[in-house]
């Protein structure tokens, strides 16, 4: 059995993601959402979010909300979904149970599905025997030959049961994957899949196919880990007599050791990326880069550029290795590219700087800080010396070369006193004025700029590495800078 022809008529493109709300919102969900969204937007189609919450034990509303929040944060805006509505709802599978029961009844009536009354004990015995014989593990078809009416009566009388798909025992099932070409499975290797569980809930396979059909999904783009489920779905479409969607199985994101991305080896929660201060644009670019190449090979590209150029031909099939360093690099690029005003506003909005910091200060700091951070969460530490009392040992003020002191405490104190009086008299408190005055002072003394600037940097920031010295002092202001110089002089006494 293969994919059905599209009857020559192209249906309007509709794609979906179908995450299960169990645990934290996963970076893999965003990755698959990105490709679905790009394809949909490129073709003027629609992008749907469906919540697959049929695993009652593991699904939670908090996790569902976290998925909505994460997708909205990233700007992966879906056109239909539980929280935005749409014409094909409900978009939460737990609210569609009667639909699955209605649909599975059609399969019972047509003989494509059957009641199975096997107990857990019997299934365990069958399994153990198969293991011993080294046979394929799977249901042995015991209930498949039961009289249909009799089975229906037993089920109606309340006998515990599941409903299984009657998978053809011979032949093969082939489907076409957009990225991989035809993929064939021998039907003898496909289990008589449970469609409806004993608690009346559908399994993933039934609910997924019924919903994709009823929601008019034309292209199923999901992670490659679902490839082995697809023949079951293809058989189900066939059993229902429904048109197949196109299938696209995206390469999985991988850990460095090429195993499937896991939280033991990489942060997988989208909440973590938000908390660390990755910009949505940078994360999307990064996820795009994992599976997509731009026509001109560019690594930095926007969502709109990816949408405009989108083609399945440009999707890479090699398992992309998730490289956090690369994401840091990209995020740094995006941070530096932000207009200073936007970055200043962001520092305030995200409370990365003390509340009440004047806008002018933020704006003056912004370009310096943008050069020095890769994640927004680094801002408080990278800027701490703008606000906090400095805490450094007096010896840090003494310049040294290859571990040998260049100037002692007496000389250093003397030069700092000179600096203080020059700064007190400086007509204008600007970076240029400070720098030329300090270079002049070096010309007239034993001090090399390298040594003096380091001593001043410690005095002004308490750190050997900081934002540019004189710019920083300009932002600190004359009064605060002189105070810091006096503190340093005091420490050398």
Residue ranges binding ligand GLU (CB under 6 A) = 18-20, 52, 208, 222, 226
For ligand GLU, the closer CB: 20 or 331: 20
Residue 268 CB, nearest distance to ligand GLU (Å)? 13
CA–CA distance, 307 with 40 (Å, rounded to integer): 9
Residue 34 CB, nearest distance to ligand GLU (Å)? 14
Residue 367 token pair:
């370009």
Residue 203 CB, nearest distance to ligand GLU (Å)? 11
394 burial type by CB count under 10 A (0-12 exposed, 13-18 middle, 19+ buried)? middle
For ligand GLU, the closer CB: 54 or 467: 54
Contact 93, 51 (CB under 8 A): yes
Cα angle 109, 240, 156 (rounded to 5 degrees) comes to 30
Per DSSP, what are the bridge partners of residue 165?
113
Question: Active-site residues: which are they?
Answer: 263
CA–CA distance, 298 with 337 (Å, rounded to integer): 16
Maximum C-alpha span of the chain: 108
Residue 167 CB, nearest distance to ligand GLU (Å)? 19
CA–CA distance, 156 with 159 (Å, rounded to integer): 7
Contact 192, 157 (CB under 8 A): no
For ligand GLU, the closer CB: 67 or 434: 67
For ligand GLU, the closer CB: 19 or 81: 19
Distance of CA 76 to CAs 99, 177, 394, 431, Å?
Answer: 28, 24, 52, 43
Residue 16 CB, nearest distance to ligand GLU (Å)? 7
CA–CA distance, 368 with 456 (Å, rounded to integer): 18
Pairing of strands 246-250, 219-223: parallel
For ligand GLU, the closer CB: 13 or 347: 13
DSSP state at residue 138: S
Per DSSP, what are the bridge partners of residue 114?
164
Residue 222 CB, nearest distance to ligand GLU (Å)? 3
Closest CA relative to residue 248, chosen from 216, 224, 217: 224
Q: How many residues does the chain have?
A: 493
For ligand GLU, the closer CB: 219 or 413: 219
């Amino acid at each position: 059995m293969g994919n059905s022809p599209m009857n020559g008529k192209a249906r309007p493109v509709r794609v979906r993601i179908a995450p299960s709300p169990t645990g934290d919102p996963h970076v893999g969900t965003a990755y698959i959402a990105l490709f679905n969204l790009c394809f949909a937007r490129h073709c003027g189609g629609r992008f749907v979010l469906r919540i697959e919450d049929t695993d009652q034990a593991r699904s939670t509303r908090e996790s569902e909300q976290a998925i909505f929040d994460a997708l909205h944060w990233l700007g992966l805006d879906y056109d239909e979904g539980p929280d935005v509505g749409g014409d094909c709802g409900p978009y939460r599978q737990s609210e569609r149970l009667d639909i699955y029961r209605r649909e599975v009844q059609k399969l019972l009536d047509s003989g494509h599905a059957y009641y199975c009354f096997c107990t857990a004990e019997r299934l365990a015995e069958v399994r153990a025997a198969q293991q011993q014989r080294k046979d394929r593990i799977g249901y042995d078809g015991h209930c498949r030959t039961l009289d249909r009416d009799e089975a229906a009566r037993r089920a109606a009388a309340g006998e515990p049961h599941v409903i299984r798909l009657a998978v053809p025992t011979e032949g093969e099932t082939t489907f076409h994957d957009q990225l991989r070409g035809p993929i064939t499975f021998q039907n003898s290797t496909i289990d008589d899949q449970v469609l409806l569980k004993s608690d009346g809930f559908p399994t993933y396979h039934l609910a997924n196919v019924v919903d994709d059909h009823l929601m008019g999904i034309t292209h199923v783009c999901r992670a490659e880990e679902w490839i082995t489920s697809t023949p079951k779905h293809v058989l189900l479409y066939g059993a229902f007599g429904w048109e197949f969607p196109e299938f696209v199985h995206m390469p999985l994101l991988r850990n460095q050791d090429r195993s499937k991305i896991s939280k033991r080896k990489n942060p997988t929660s989208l909440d973590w990326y938000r908390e660390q201060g990755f910009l949505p644009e940078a994360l999307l670019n990064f996820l795009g880069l994992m599976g997509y190449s731009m026509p001109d090979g560019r690594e930095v590209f926007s969502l709109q550029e990816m949408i405009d150029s989108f083609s399945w031909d440009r999707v890479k099939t090699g398992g992309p290795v998730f490289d956090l360093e690369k994401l840091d690099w990209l995020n740094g690029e995006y941070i530096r590219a932000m207009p200073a005003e936007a970055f200043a506003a962001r520092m305030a909005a995200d409370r990365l700087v003390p509340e009440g910091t004047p806008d002018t200060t933020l704006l003056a700091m912004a370009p310096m800080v943008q050069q020095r951070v890769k994640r927004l969460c680094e801002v408080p530490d990278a800027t701490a010396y703008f606000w906090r009392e400095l805490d450094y040992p007096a010896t840090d003020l003494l310049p040294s070369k290859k571990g040998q002191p260049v100037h002692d405490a007496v000389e250093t104190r003397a030069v700092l006193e000179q600096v203080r009086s020059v700064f007190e008299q400086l007509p204008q408190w600007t970076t240029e004025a400070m720098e030329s005055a300090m270079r002049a002072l070096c010309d007239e003394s034993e001090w090399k700029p390298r040594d003096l600037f380091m001593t001043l940097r410690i005095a002004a920031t308490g750190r050997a590495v900081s934002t540019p010295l004189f710019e920083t002092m300009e932002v600190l202001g004359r009064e605060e800078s002189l105070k810091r110089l006096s503190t340093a002089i005091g420490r050398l006494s």
